Structure 1
């Protein structure tokens, strides 16, 4: 498969509410229901479930399922789902992320590829590498 398009989508986390994880005893894992507002590259919003374990200071892992909907700078619009996560330690911020094939709607119906969260002086953003089928 070849990368046919790379999209950058800046966002702000607008809400993060703790959620109960039935069956998790002892606090070894936690969950959040989160919401983001996308402000540049893709303008829109997302809802996600974020699960983590460990501590940010010493080492943490997380996984998330995120539904993103919005409009691109060129006018295309729709929604798609991303699964992403990372092992975050002081010396390594290894991460993964993928657009879930078949979850797109509207102009995003055929989106598939990778998704990586990055940070710079302006804050967090997704880099989406769209692939051919």
Structure 2
């Protein structure tokens, strides 16, 4: 039987490297390689390929593929991949994300579930609804 539980993983962005998108010209779309450090709930790091369009003032959206490597407070460790995105801002109701089934390694093999970035007074975090 599957078990579902929620983990809130605090993070900070530690790298933001603009990347060109071959064949796409103009300022309507941008891409970066983003790096994060996870500091609470899950301790580790990640690298994400992040593509966005629009502006914060006028409206925007993003899509990202993120590979997270770390350890949970219960000692389980490994890596997994998350696809996530939103319109406007990660806190708006359009925010979505999913752990990609079959991408887990180590103790995270078989990991699945939802993933959503939220912001509060302490900063950004990923909220994972995990099925193991």
User: If the TM-score is normalised by the length of the shorter chain, which range does it land in?
Assistant: over 0.9
Kindly report the root-mean-square deviation, in angstroms, between the aligned alpha carbons of the 2 structures: 1.6
Q: Which sections of structure 2, spanning at least 5 residues, go unmatched?
A: none
TM-score, with structure 2 as normaliser = 0.93
Aligned length: 130
- Cα distance in 2 for partners of 1:95, 1:4 equals 20
Q: How do 1:1-133 and structure 2 match up within 5 A?
A: 4-88=4-88, 92=92, 94-131=94-131
Q: Deviations over 1:4-55 (max 9, x none)?
A: 1111100000010100111111221000001000000000000000000000
Query: Runs of 4 or more off by more than 2 Å in structure 1?
Result: none
Shift in Å at residue 3 of structure 1?
6.2
Sort the Cα spacing of 1:3 and 1:84 in 2 relative to 1 into closer, same or farther, 3 A. Answer: farther
In structure 1, stretches of 5+ residues that fail to align are none
- Tell me the distance in 1 between the aligned counterparts of 2:30 and 2:80: 25
CA distance in structure 2 between the aligned counterparts of 1:113 and 1:10, rounded to whole angstroms: 18
